Structure formats: C-alpha cells, structure tokens
Chain A
Amino acid sequence: MIEVRELVKSFDGFRALDGLTLTVPTGAVYGLVGPNGAGKSTLIRHLTGIYRQDSGTLTVDGVPVYEHPEVKAKLAYIPDDVFYYTSASTEDMMRFYQSQYPGFDRQRFEALGELLRLDRRRPIRKLSKGQQKQAAFWLALSQRPEILVLDEPVDGLDPVMRRQIWSLLMGDVEEHGTTVLVSSHNLRELEDVCDTVGIMNHGKMLVERSLSELQENLVKVQLAYGEGGALPEGLTVLHENRTGRLQQLILRGRADEIRARLERTKPLFLDLLPLSLEEIFIYELGGADYAVKDLVL
C-alpha cells in the first residue's frame, strides 16, 4: 500500500504540494488526475524517490521510499518523457536494468519482445515517439515490479498498441496483484481501467474515491417541466444548462434519491444519466473554481 500523509513540497517559495494526503491500496489501479500545475508530476517524483519532501510522509508498506533501495527495487516508473542514453538500444538498456533490478525477468523480456516487435538493437533515439514509449513499457514490465508508476503512459501510442499495453497492465494486476498508479489527462481511457481515482488541485487532494463511488455521487439529469413546474429545494446543483424547457443539470447526490425527489415535482420529462470520469473531473473542479469559461472573442 502506498500512503502519503500531509506531504509538503515548495520550490523557491511556491508550494507545489500543500499537505497532500492519499492512499493507494495494494493491487489497485489508481488514476491520478488534476488540472495542469496541480502537482501530479511532483507527487510522482516523490513516489519514485527522486524528490525529498519538505515535510510529511510517503511510505510503501510502511517503509519510506526516499533512499530505501529495497522499496525502489519493487518500483518501476515510466515518465511522460522517457530517458535513455544517447546511443543506447533497448537491448543496452535491458542489460543496464538487469544489472540494477534483482527481479528483472529476462524471459519476460524475450516474450514481450515477440509481442511488441521492436528492433531491440536499434538506438532508441532513432525510434518514433510511440516506439520509444513501447520500449519503455517493454523494459518496465520486464522488471516484474510490484508497483508501477505511470505518467501519461499511452501518450503517443496508436489505438491498437494502447489496448495492447492496457491489456498487459491489467493482466499483471490480475495475476500478480501489481499496484498501478497512473497519471493521465486521457480520462476516457482511465475510466476503463481505474478502480480508484484521486483528483488533485493546487497541491491538495480534492476528491479521492473509488470510481463507482464517484459516479454514484454525481448524477446528470435531463428534465423538462410544464407550466409552474420547478426544481425541489435542497438540491446541490453543480452545473445547469437550459435549452427552452429542457434542462440539463449536474447534481450531487445518489441517483435513486435524486430521482425520487424529482419525480415528486412531476416533471414532463426526466432522465438520469451516469457521468463519465471526464465530466466528473470537470464538474468537481468547477466547484473548486476551475470551471470551463465561456469566452467571447
């Protein structure tokens, strides 16, 4: 389990992480989302032992990550901008990682090579961006990590390769209980794989729940009233859009409760729809003063 408690990190007076707290259960696929500048990458660099926090704790199964090789040995990290040595090929990097990670599985490397079909001897710098990402996955998954930290993992991959990669990841999660923490702006894809979501903003955790709880707690309602009809009192409206009589509302609350209350007001038309993760993201942050603004140019 990854536990972060009251993590604080400042850069030249700017507080990038401001008392951040989160928990990633073992075996979970945790989606870390947030607007640009929320502190996601900063958090990830703490999780991988690159940065040292100003205060707070960050542990994996109770052991701090920073300067603890035994924890780092269980961890694989794919950043958004992958690093490789200038003239190194995938095979060169494989040998390097094999020398560093005790759990590196050469057989798995070979098996993944069959699947990914990259030229392992070609310098990585000569591969396309998507191929470089594939090479990064190839090496990371060969490490057999207990924890996989991914920052924009499928950026640059074609749709087929995306599915392939997610399939491999989910296979590891299911088979080996790998814990995955993935940060991405592609909420559509995260929605398919994550079971827990953390929404960050301004260095703090705004919302942290399982995906199902998040979806249960926000409802999209389409309804229309006749003459004299009105919404009942006490509803938490996060967003409202009106086209003639048709209203589209985002309401906080459970779907069954909201349906019951709305039906009592006898609308002409009522429909409840589940929200996508992207919509949840937009409307939760809209409440935190990070809404989509209508611009007139």
Chain B
Amino acid sequence: MPSKTWSFNRGIAANYLKRFWPLWGAWLAGLLLAAVSLAQTGISSFGPDSTYNVWNFGVTLLSTSELFAMGTAGIGVLTAMAMFHYLYQPRESGMMHTLPLRRESLFLTVYLTGLLPLLGAELLVTLIGMLMTLPGRYALAVSWLQWFGVLALGTVAFYGFAVFCAMLTGHWLVLPAVYAVLNLTAVVVESTGRDLLSLFVYGMRIPSGLKLGFLSPPYQLATKLSRHMLTAPAERIDGTGMLNVYEVANGYTLEGYGWLVGYAVAGLLLAACALLLYRRRRLETAGDVVAIAVLRPVFKYCLSLGTALVFADLLLAMVFQQPRGGYGMAALVLGLMIVGAFIGYFAAEMLMQKTLKVFRARAFRGFAAVCAVLCLFVGLNELDAFGYERRVPDANEVDYITVLNAKIDEPETVEALIELHRAAIADKARQERGWAEGALNVMTFELSYTLKNGGTLERLYSVFTNADELADPDSLGWQLERCYNLPEFLRERVTLSFPVTARSVQYATLDVQQPRIDGDWQPSQSVTLTGEEAAALYAEGILPDAEALHIGHRWYMDPDGSRATAATTNVTLNMLLVGDTSEEHAWLDIPVETDSRNTIRWLEENKGITVVPISELNGDEANPSPIAVHR
C-alpha cells in the first residue's frame, strides 16, 4: 500500500504530461536530429578499413554529448519553470494545495514528472542511434552508452539545481535569473575580484584557471569534460625506401566524468533540500522575488556586492587601457565599486518591494554597511594587510621556480631570482608610477614558485625603464636582464622535452631572419632541413654553444642589439618530433651571437649561411653584431 506521505499522483502527472509535452518533445526532437545526423555521417564514413573512422565517430559522438550536457543546463531550468510554476500563481497555488495530498507527494510527483520524460527522451535517442550504427561495430555501444551517461547525469544535475532555485523565489521570471546567477556566481566573483585586485595589489598575478570553478557546474564541465583520440605509432617504408612514422587510432579517453557524477549527486541532494524548503514554504509568497524571508537580506547584500564587482570590472576593462597601481587606482576601483553597489542594492530593494520608492533613510543604513565592506576589501588589500605584496619565500623553502616556461632549480639561479623578487618589491613605489615617469619600455616578469611543502606562490611584475634606468646598471631592468641570462636559463632555452635525432625529427625548417634594410626588417628566409641535418645542427652547433654560454642570451634592455655580443638575428628551428607514443611540435628561437662559433660554422659549412656582424652592413664597426645572410 503506497505511503500517504510519499505517493506518486498519477492524475497530476497525467495532467502535466498533457499540458507540457511540447517541452519534452522539443528536447527529444533536438537530440534525435543530432543523433541521426551523426549516425548517418558515421555510417557513410565506415569502410573496409574503418577502425580509425569508428574510433573517430566515437570521439565525435562524445564531443556532441558535451555540447548537450551544457544543453541540459537549459532544458533543466525550463522544465523546473514548467513543473513548479504553480508556486508563483496565487490562484493555481491555492487550487493545488487544496487537493487532498501532502506536499511531499505533490513535490515527488511534479519532480519526477519533469525528470523522467527527459531521461526517457535521452534513452530513446541512444537506442535509436545504437540501432543505426552498431551492426558490425559493437565497439560503438560503449560510445553510445557514454553519450547517454553524459546527458543523463547532466540532466539530473541541472534539473535538481533548478528545482532548488525554484524554491528560493516566488516569481516565475526570477527563477531562470536566480539559476543563471547561482550557476555562475563563483566564477564571476572570483574572476572579477582577481581582476580588480590585480589593478592595485602590487605583484598580483592572475593564475590560470579558477579555484572556485568547481562551484560553477557549467564552467567546470566546459573546462574539464574532454575526449581524446588515442593513437599508436606505426612505421612503414614508402616508395622511395624512406622510413615513415605515422599514427594509428587506438581508442579514446573520456575525461571529466567524475565531475559529472559529482554534480549529479549534488543535483539529487539539492532536490532533497528543495523538498525540505517546500514543506515549509509559505504560499502567500507567490509573486514575491524572494520566497524565503531570511534570504531577503542575503539577496539584497549579495546582489549589491556582486554588482559592485561586475560594474567596476567592466567599466575599468572598457575605459582604462593602462591601469597603474598606487592609491589612485585603489580609490578609482573603490569608487566604481560603490557606484555598482548602489545600483545593485537599490535594484534589489525595488524588486523585493515592487516599487521604485525605496530611497528612504533606513535603506541607506544597509547601503552604508555595504560601502563599509567594500572599503575594507580595498583598503586592507591596498595597505597589504595580509602580507601578499611582501611575501618572498626563502631559498630553502623553494623546490623550483618556473620562469619563461623554464623550470629553474639550481641554487644559484634560485637565489638570484629571489633577490630579483626582493628588488622588485623594494622598487614598488616607482614601478606603480609606471608610464608617468617617462618610461621608454616595459617588461613583465612572472615568478611561479613551487615550494617544498607543495604550495605555490605566483607573482607578476611590470618593469618600467626610463632613460635614467637604462644608464644605471643596477636598476631593476638590468637586474632582470642579468638574471634571465644566467647559465641555467641559457641551457633551458635550448632544451627540448623530446630527443632530437634523425629518427625523431619528422620535418624541420630553418627560418633565418634577414638583415634590416634602412631600418626595416626583411621577411625571414626558410630553409628545409632533413632529419639528419636538424639533429646535426642541434647536436654539433646549438648544444655545444649553449654549454659554453655562447648562445641564447636575451637582451631586454637593449633590444636593438647594439652591444658586442648582442644578436639582431634569430635563427628559428621548427621541428616535428615523434616519440614512441606521441608527437610534439617544437621550435627553438635562438639569437645567434658572434661567439656562437659552432652554430655559425655549421650554418656556413652545411647550408651556406654566413653569419656576419650587423656592423658590416650598417657601417658601424664600433658595435658589431651578427646577422645571418643566406647566400
């Protein structure tokens, strides 16, 4: 005998199915169209030797499932709007709650009536796709089941979240807004907060990725869900007797599934929370923007603070091209945030009270509290109350430092970088004045510390250089240049993750930059190398010169390369390297110097490229620089 508290009401379910079938019909139609099109395309590509095509079809199928997983975010909220819209209409709400059933049964019925047709549509389309493509290609069954899995998990996740949002509001149109905002709040707050802080917190580097991204399912799924074709190398001898290495399909991987499962579980938990809220819901809130009284101040203050962040961030991004630090920028950020907070705060009041007349003395007290929070946020960070700007790790804390994509771990180099970091902090006041001090150029340097305790510390500094600093060998710019030309950096610049051998080099080209004519750079010349030639240039020219510290220097403070060993010519070696299980495109962008004897000799002897000092071409014997001339 069904429980009186928890029973599925077939009359209500039938009523809803009859009224809202176009919603599920549209979802089914969309999925069917996509699946049938895919299946048709796949079938037409399968041939006698169709292993690769079969795998490729599987990958393509999964890529559309990712797209539809994001689509479940939309169909989820639309379904929740349809299923629970009765809560937002006083008359319908009254009728539904005079029916002889408990709220638990009503909720269960409505929730399942919304969810099951969606899952049914997804399953039906999966079965149709399997029927079309499987005969003879049973490996695709897994692809189709994974396709269904992605969709079903996304549906459960997003629909559950939308149902939870439905309980927070009493207005039909507010539901999708709340849903969208809550889905994106974490990433928006984190990214705008970081953007704003980076404008006035000295040294702040905006890391890639968002730490709070996991709180935003659409963002997290878009970045984490991926599929890759797996390949294996195969060899064959071509008609000329040359050994060719190529790839063959060897399956695929699907990544990010765990996140989907996690969000689906969260969706179920949120649906359970929605039920708890529904049991206590006051139906007189139909029509209100916020249905739960205790959440009204939360809504108001969150909207105010959120608007403050977004407004300031947008305005600064659109209006200010060269943000500078210092108190001026902090004050500007604070001012814009206060304007944004004002808009958000009183917009929330207007929405909740359903009137434009909200500018009363009492309301301004709450706004004053918001302003106080913003002042604290900006003030504490500007004054470095948390020690962010001053933090420099000790050398014994550091495992390695990543700079210019190079992993630096030699003690001398680590010490030098830490000293450079301290120098940048000491020069804060001048660097924050930036272009105002007559800067001639600006360099940026990033430090990414990996600490022995597993932690990381990242900093980004802009180094402005004016004429005085150009003449001062101890200025921050010169310190930076010396640091970047330490031996470990030079070695890192010529190190590749793949071995460069005649076998691993699939193709290689040598781009040789031509000398300037009347101050204008000429297009570079491209010379093709065989695998053996590329390997030889690397092994006999570049590596020995790097070992002798005669190649690979970077001249930031004197980019025109007027110094004795400075180079105005870059030799770029582009290679496709093939390993046992993967391939990599690699290139070495090497400034050739007058001391790069091995490289210069190899270029002359093997390719007829003569490297001459630029002074010979420019008539400036006092400042010889090498330039490569391909004869």
Contact = CB atoms under 8 A, between A and B. Distances in A.
Interface of A: 11, 45, 48-52, 67, 69-73, 75, 77, 79, 81-83, 85-87, 95-96, 98-102
A220 B102 CA distance: 51
15 contacts: A11-B284, A48-B94, A49-B97, A50-B94, A50-B97, A52-B282, A67-B103, A69-B101, A72-B98, A75-B98, A79-B91, A79-B94, A83-B94, A85-B15, A99-B12
A95 B11 CA distance: 8
A100 B103 CA distance: 14
B357 interface: no
B94 A45 contact: yes
Contacts of B95: 83
A239 B11 CA distance: 56
B412 interface: no
B15 A69 contact: no
6 nearest CB pairs, A to B? A99-B11, A73-B100, A83-B91, A72-B100, A69-B100, A83-B95
- Which of B89, B92, B95, B283 has the most chain A CB atoms closer than 10 A to its own CB? B95
Contacts of A96: 11, 15
Which size bracket describes the interface of B in this complex? Answer: 20 to 34
Nearest to B18: A92
Contact of A67 (B92, B102, B284): B102
Contacts of A45: 94
B362 interface: no
Nearest to B91: A83
Given A85-B15, A99-B11, A100-B11, A50 B98 contact: yes
A133 B97 CA distance: 20
A52 B4 CA distance: 20
Contacts of B10: 99
Interface string B377-411: 00000000000000000000000000000000000
Contacts of A52: 282
Interface in B1-31: 4, 9-12, 14-15, 19
Contacts of A100: 9, 11-12, 99-101
Nearest to B101: A69
A51 B283 contact: yes
Interface of B: 4, 9-12, 14-15, 19, 89, 91-95, 97-103, 282-284
Contacts of A87: 19
Contacts of A81: 91
Contacts of B92: 83
Contacts of B19: 85-87
A40 to B, nearest CB: 15
Nearest to A81: B91
A60 B95 CA distance: 19
A52 B97 CA distance: 11
- Which of B4, B98, B103 has the most chain A CB atoms closer than 10 A to its own CB? B98
Nearest to A95: B11
Contacts of A71: 100
A70 B282 contact: no
A101 B284 contact: no
Contacts of B89: 83
Given A50-B93, A50-B98, A69-B4, 8 more contacts: A51-B282, A70-B100, A72-B98, A77-B98, A79-B91, A81-B91, A96-B15, A99-B14
B83 to A, nearest CB: 14
A244 to B, nearest CB: 53
- Which of B4, B12, B97, B103 has the most chain A CB atoms closer than 10 A to its own CB? B97
A50 B14 contact: no
Contacts of A72: 98-101
Contacts of B101: 69, 72, 100
Nearest to B105: A69
Contacts of A86: 19
A10 B282 CA distance: 11
A52 B92 CA distance: 17
A101 B100 contact: yes
Contacts of A49: 97-98
Nearest to B99: A100
A204 B98 CA distance: 24
A50 B14 CA distance: 23
Nearest to B14: A99
Contacts of B9: 99-100
Nearest to A101: B100
Nearest to B283: A50
A86 B94 CA distance: 16
Nearest to A98: B11
B97 to A, nearest CB: 5
A51 B283 CA distance: 6
B351 to A, nearest CB: 15
Nearest to A52: B282
Contact of B98 (A48, A70, A82, A98): A48
A216 to B, nearest CB: 37
A67 B280 CA distance: 11
Contacts of B93: 50
A82 B95 CA distance: 9
A51 B90 CA distance: 11
Contact of A51 (B12, B91, B103, B284): B284
- Which of B101, B283, B284 has the most chain A CB atoms closer than 10 A to its own CB? B284
A77 B94 CA distance: 10
A87 B103 CA distance: 25
Nearest to A71: B100
B154 to A, nearest CB: 30
B283 to A, nearest CB: 6
A75 B9 CA distance: 19
Contacts of A73: 100
